[in-house]
Amino acid sequence: MKKRSIWIGTAFTSSIVLLSGCFQGEQSLEELMDPPQNVQTVNDLDNTEDNNQASEENKKKETSDESSEETKETTNRELYLIDQNGMVVSQTLPLPQVDSKEVAKQSLEYLVKDGPVSSILPNGFQAVLPAGTNINSLNLQDDGTLVVDVSKEFKEYKAENELKILQAMTFTLTQFDSVKRMKLQVDGVEQDVMPVNGTPLGDGYSRADGINLHTGDVSDIVNSEAVTVYYPAQQDSHYYYVPVTTRVEETDSTQYEAVINQLIEGPGYELTGLLNVFQNNVELTEKPVNEDSVLSLTFSKSIFSDEENKTISDPVLNSIVLSLTEQPEVDSVQIQVEGTEQVYNENGEAYTEPVTREDISEPSGI
């Protein structure tokens, strides 16, 4: 299958989730720590002429550096922001390149209101951390817990935003393979609960705790399980994808089938702004098969947006791939349709290879 991209807010993380092409490999313990301060030395202090010449050259270099600041190289990174409907959503944005040891800290700094993210926020989105919040330090423990120490300004948020803040920080950080959960400190003091509304933190907050929590129609919470599915939303002419952790009743079906059925059913009416892009009669015609982290799905022909041209719409395919690659054992999804040798995307490109999260990720529109 040819790889293709759409405009998307993901992500998702692999489930963790791998970074959307923004980072090279897993970030190690050392890479997530703050780097040591650079030490500069000056030699030949007695050589005044050489020193004056060096000083002039340094001034020229500084001027050149300032003029080239606007053209500094950038790297696409995944940040979880708040959309126009108040949902926590991934957006892939171009951030200035920094040392690999600073990428996690930089990602959090770009979640701060009125901070550096202000100039690149997509339309309809806002940062989530209170203005003035400083990220003091990060400390990654051996078990994958990342301890984040923030300044006291962090406490200046409204109670109703507490879960959004916690989820945005957690999902932004757990896109790094080495980070499994987040714990919080405020000016060096460990927090057992969130400081405003008392949300328990326990041993740390992880993706398993969910995002944009929604109970749905399930009445028996005990005999249900949580799944995270991605519903499309639209900003101007662009689609982006909103992760929603909802509960589904335990049945004989696999969790893969539960995810697909939840997508077909669509978001509840109370989930304002989210779209159902599946036809009601879409169904799986065979049991999903996961082999070597490639999940194969076979659908009825109702999944086609254009049956004559064997086309599956981008929002349908992207919702499927993002939702199922949230499962830790799924890296990619192979889409098949009963009685059909070949299926195509909206650009007429054939799906000949399994689709990954990276295949459907590109920088978000600004």
Mean pLDDT of the chain: 82
Rounded CA separation 345/351 (Å):
7
pLDDT at position 45 over 70:
no
Average pLDDT of span 298-306: 96
Query: What residue spans of the chain are helical by DSSP H?
Result: 29-32, 48-67, 103-109, 162-173, 255-265, 314-324
pLDDT at position 141 over 90:
yes
Exposure string of 172-191, with b = 16+ CB inside 10 Å and e = fewer, is bbbbbbbbbbbbbbbeeeeb
- Per-residue confidence band for 330, with pLDDT thresholds at 50, 70 and 90: very high
Q: How far is CA 222 from CA 248, 251, 266, in A?
A: 11, 13, 23
Rounded CA separation 79/110 (Å):
8
The pLDDT, as a whole number, for residue 113 is: 97
- Positive or negative, the CA dihedral 236, 240, 244, 250 is positive
C-alpha torsion 232→75→18→245, nearest 10: -30
Rounded CA separation 343/361 (Å):
20
The pLDDT, as a whole number, for residue 363 is: 63
- Contact (CB, 8 A) for 12 and 323: no
- Per-residue confidence band for 101, with pLDDT thresholds at 50, 70 and 90: confident
Single pTM value for the model: 0.77
* End-to-end Cα spacing for the chain: 29
The pLDDT, as a whole number, for residue 339 is: 94
Lowest mean pLDDT across 35-49, 126-140, 146-160, 343-357: 35-49
Lowest mean pLDDT across 101-110, 193-202, 211-220: 211-220
Segment of 11-20, 220-229, 288-297 carrying the highest mean pLDDT: 288-297
Question: What percentage of the chain reaches a pLDDT higher than 70?
Answer: 77
The pLDDT, as a whole number, for residue 253 is: 77
Each residue's pLDDT tens digit, 161-187: 999 999 999 999 998 889 999 999 999
pLDDT at position 14 over 60:
no
State the amino acid at position 184 in one-letter form: L
Lowest mean pLDDT across 59-73, 113-127, 152-166, 211-225: 59-73
The pLDDT, as a whole number, for residue 25 is: 39
